[in-house]
Amino acid sequence: MASMEKRLQKELQALQRDPPVGVKVDTDKLTSNLSEWTVNLTGAPGTLYEGENFVLHFKFGSRYPFDSPQVIFGGANIPVHPHVYSNGHICLSILTEDWSPALSVQSVCLSIVSMLSSCKEKKRPPDNAIYVKTCSKNPKKTRWWYHDDQV
Amino acid sequence: MSNCRYTAVATWRWVANDDNCGICRMPFDGCCPDCKVPGDDCPLVWGRCSHCFHIHCIVKWLNSQQVHQLCPMCRQEWKFKE
């Protein structure tokens, strides 16, 4: 078994044994070598996204965890948030330059739930229209500019 | 008793501040995913920040970093503990 698969196997076991609130792996949609995951997120109580359901797609390359996974929102409900583009791409530094191999599916999901939770106003990023028209399908190919730690 | 036989058994453990490597998530008493046998061929190393990893795991991470070499756990600059 490849080392990426071994590590993902461990993560899956831990997530199923002890799932964090609002994070649920859709085990029916796992691919056989675990290179693609679908995770269902629920907006935290007391936040603008309370009770909303979201779908996150993870794609892992063979160099995971040394390389970050590709993470995008999918499905019908893409959260309206200043760091989430309407095509599901997420502007979050831990998904690119601040990635660490100590991070995991669980910590990425919790960071995203917490990013949603701290939002004060539901709106799209200011450059949404142009970004969605011109970006690559893979958000890891975007040169992100991280400028706002407030949300 | 005149016919006394015994079988000696020894165990060993790495003395680490955690049970699992934070990079590969394998137990420290096991080896990294690229090795087959735990022990001296797959040793642990410590950083000055006191975090500990399989040497193969941390070296793979450091080699993949062009600009800064940071500890995966605490993001301080990685220096091997002497």
CATH number assigned to the domain comprising residue B77: 3.30.40.10
- Any idea which residue has 């990635």 for tokens? A99
What is each CA distance from A56 to A12, A17, A30, A31, B40, in whole angstroms?
A: 15, 20, 12, 15, 41
Q: How confident is the model at residue A17 (pLDDT cuts 50, 70, 90)?
A: very high
Residue B22 has pLDDT above 80, yes or no: yes
Q: Which residues of B touch A9 (CB under 8 A)?
A: none
> What residue spans define the domains of chain A?
2-141
ipTM of the complex: 0.84
Could you tell me which residues of chain A have a Cβ less than 8 Å from any Cβ in chain B? 1-3, 6-7, 10-11, 63, 65-67, 100-102
Picking from A113, A130, A17, the residue whose alpha carbon sits closest to that of residue A71 is A113
C-alpha pair distances (Å), B78 with each of A66, B27, B61, B69 = 16, 22, 11, 6
Helices within chain B (DSSP H only): 55-63
Name the 3-class secondary structure at A58.
Answer: strand
User: Among residues 19-78 of chain B, which lie with CB inside 8 Å of chain A?
Assistant: 22-26, 32-34, 57, 60-61, 64, 70, 72-73, 75
The reported pLDDT for the residue numbered B14 is 66
**Residue B69 identity:** Q
Query: For the residues A78-84, what does the mean pLDDT come to?
Result: 97
CATH of region A2-141, choose from 3.30.43.10, 3.10.110.10, 3.40.50.150, 3.30.565.10? 3.10.110.10
* Nearest Cα to Cα of residue A75 among A60, A86, A91: A86
Confidence grade of residue A21 (pLDDT, cut at 50, 70, 90): very high
State residue A77's pLDDT score. Answer: 96
Which of A24-28, B15-19, B30-34, B68-72 has the weakest average pLDDT? B15-19
Per-residue pLDDT tens digits for B30-77:
899 999 988 889 999 999 999 999 999 999 999 999 888 999 999 999
Least Cα distance to A148 among A100, A85, A91 occurs for A91
- Whether the pLDDT of residue B2 is over 70: the answer is no
Range of the domain at B79: 1-82
Chain A residue closest to B32 (CA)? A3
User: Structural domain tally of chain B?
Assistant: 1
Q: What is the pTM of this model?
A: 0.88
**What is the structure's pLDDT at B64?**
94
